[in-house]
Copies of this chain bind each other. A is one copy, B any other.
Amino acid sequence: MSPVAATRWCPTPEQLMILEEMYRSGIRTPNAVQIQQITAHLAFYGRIEGKNVFYWFQNHKARDRQKLRKKLAKQLHQQQHHLQLQLQQIQPKSMSMMPQPLSNIIDHHNHYQHHHNHHRSYDHMSFGCCSQGIGVEAQSKVLSEHYCNKSGHEDMLMQRPITGQNTSYGRDWMMMMDMGPRPSYPSSSVPVPYCNMMMMNSPKIPLKTLELFPISSINSKQDSSKL
């Protein structure tokens, strides 16, 4: 048996530097094709597989967020005190300021009434608090933005395909799968709802065509097809 490769991947300094540079310059969740390419290039410096690249970005991003969160939490810990004081000023005897254990009881008590009241007072609101493609993702986006803010890309950051799936690994993997098992559909017509146009994150192109011709043309077609 092969004496090597029975252990976890350990990035060489070169690989690490490149990955970090990529991260710094904004890559967070590379799609399948990107991963492929990154992997191919990093392979020059040592053993590496696609999954290593995938995991590296996942972990790095997560730990970045984690770090940032701790930082913010610390910062806010002080504000916390301040806030509480102010809240107490608002309603010195408010039940809502009671310690947690009582919350359930309290809640039961005034649920009906409060709910009713508020509902009334906000009668005019539109109840569209859901059903758009923004959510946790966006939040984390904000986080990472805080961390590696580049310039004025904020609006781009917030943009997500409004109705569509998030761009991501999933579809890409499927496409790769198509390479092997079964070509369910001709590579020209891909049955995936494309909505990311401006979002530019998924080359929904069967991988096999990668080395043959520029994908941009296809992309542009798709772009115009939606939205």
> Does A67 make an interface contact (CB < 8 A)?
no
Min CB distance, A194 to chain B, in Å?
Answer: 6
In angstroms, Cα B215 to Cα A173, docked, is 18
List CB contacts (< 8 Å) of A28-75 with chain B.
28-41, 43-51, 54-55, 59, 61, 68-69, 72-73
Copies of this protein in the assembly total 2
Q: Which residues of B contact A197 (CB under 8 A)?
A: 41
Query: Which of B41, B48, B185 is within 8 Å of A44, CB to CB?
Result: B185
Min CB distance, A161 to chain B, in Å?
Answer: 11
Q: In the complex the two chains form, is B130's CB within 8 Å of A12's CB?
A: yes
In angstroms, Cα B67 to Cα A55, docked, is 29
Q: Is the interface of A mostly helix, strand, loop or mixed?
A: helix
Q: Which residues of B contact A205 (CB under 8 A)?
A: 218
Q: In the complex the two chains form, is B7's CB within 8 Å of A129's CB?
A: no
- Residues of chain A at interface, number, CB under 8 A: 160
Q: In the complex the two chains form, is A5's CB within 8 Å of B100's CB?
A: no
Query: Which of B7, B97, B170 is within 8 Å of A115, CB to CB?
Result: B7
Q: Which residues of B contact A217 (CB under 8 A)?
A: 214-216, 219
Mask for A93-111, Cβ within 8 A of B = 1, else 0? 0101111101100110011
In angstroms, Cα B219 to Cα A210, docked, is 12
Q: In the complex the two chains form, is B37's CB within 8 Å of A213's CB?
A: yes
Answer whether A44 and B200 are a contact pair too, CB < 8 Å, given A25-B227, A31-B117.
no
Q: 8 new A-B pairs (CB below 8 Å) besides A22-B198, A32-B177, A59-B129?
A: A14-B76, A17-B73, A22-B195, A28-B227, A35-B177, A37-B86, A41-B194, A173-B173
